[in-house]
Copies of this chain bind each other. A is one copy, B any other.
Amino acid sequence: MMKLAIIGYGYWGPNLTRNFHNTPDCQVKWVLDLSEKQRLRVRSTYPNIHTTDRIEDVIHDHEVDAVVIATPVYTHFDLASRALKAGKHVLLEKPMTSTKDEAVALIELARKHDRVLMVDHTYLYTPAVQRMKQYVDEGLLGHIRYVDSTRINLGLFQTDVNVLWDLAPHDISICRHLLGERPISVQAVGVSHTENNLENIAFLTLFYPENRIAHFNCSWISPVKIRQMLVGGDEKMLVFNDLETTEKLRIYDKGYSVLPESDRDRILVDYRTGDIMIPKIPQFEALAELAKDFRDAVLHGKEPVSDYLSGLEVVEILEAADQSIKQKGREILL
């Protein structure tokens, strides 16, 4: 049995609480939130969960095995450090921290205290991404040449982070998961239409070895909502449309082969276009899977899917993207 404290009961906290509440061998003992109104909401829904607004209540409770931190990013480092030092396992909301240095410091703390440190990249646990990962691992798509993702809508302007820190962690963590490779460099541009100069439209590019490329289009001011990722392999190509309810993935038997020099007259490549397959994918809640993964990491030492290296890479890339945006798109080596 793992006893947990959830820190932060704002937008995502209720989902975390509900899922850990329903996970076997897990007990949510505490929910911490600074707002009395939110604490009241917790108690009326879960009469057995304790609430508090003091981090000490959680840190000093020896029964608490693990804390789940779903507060604004700039608070992550302080809260997670204190928890790790107190011997608690930690699950951090994405993005992991505000800077790469903070992420590295947390990782060192976790290693030193031999605690689990995990980051909530929920998307990695969705049925669609799991199926994509399976296709990639089986070689169905062949060698992946590019990823092109569009994640735009009329979204809430954040006041502490720009649109990339808000939306791109999903795409970056999925790319890492699928490609199993670290980008060489990062490049980004964006604009802000508010006085705080936080970008509300931004375009991020990751360069990989062998001319692989990933490009993410993120916006809070699009009239239409789009959640679409193209994954282009040299065998097949895949489209992941997360707004579809039952047809999230489409596999296209479509592609081209570069012709050998001798065969070329005026055409360079040979095209192939065939059937499209829309696989039936099971439906389950990704966050429930993540909760189980964290539990198994804590109780049984299992290696989690959404590990701290994934969290670190996301922060590294976002930090580099900020630098690149300031320099109007200059490439930043990782």
B269 and A194 contact, CB distance less than 8 A: yes
Q: Smallest CB-CB separation from A158: which chain B residue? A: B268
List the B side residues contacting A196 at CB < 8 Å.
Answer: 268
List the B side residues contacting A217 at CB < 8 Å.
Answer: 148, 215, 217
B280 and A277 contact, CB distance less than 8 A: no
Q: How far is the CA of A40 from the CA of B266 in the complex (A)?
A: 22
The bracket for how many chain A residues form the interface is: 35 or more
B277 and A273 contact, CB distance less than 8 A: no
Interface string of A317-331 (1 = CB under 8 A from B): 000000010011111
A203 and B223 contact, CB distance less than 8 A: no
List the B side residues contacting A256 at CB < 8 Å.
Answer: 154, 157, 221
List the B side residues contacting A277 at CB < 8 Å.
Answer: 275-278
Answer yes or no: A258 CB below 8 A from chain B CBs: yes
B187 and A213 contact, CB distance less than 8 A: no
A223 and B219 contact, CB distance less than 8 A: no
A187 and B328 contact, CB distance less than 8 A: yes
In-complex Cβ contact of A187 among B237, B239, B329 (8 A): B329
Answer yes or no: A195 CB below 8 A from chain B CBs: yes
A211 and B192 contact, CB distance less than 8 A: yes
Q: Chain A: residues with CB nearer than 8 A to chain B?
A: 145-146, 148, 150, 152, 154, 156-157, 159, 185, 187, 189-196, 201, 203, 205, 207, 211-213, 215, 217, 219, 221-224, 230, 232, 237-239, 247, 250, 252-256, 258, 261, 266-269, 271, 273-280, 324, 327-331
Closest 6 CB pairs of A and B: A223-B237, A223-B252, A328-B331, A276-B278, A187-B329, A329-B329
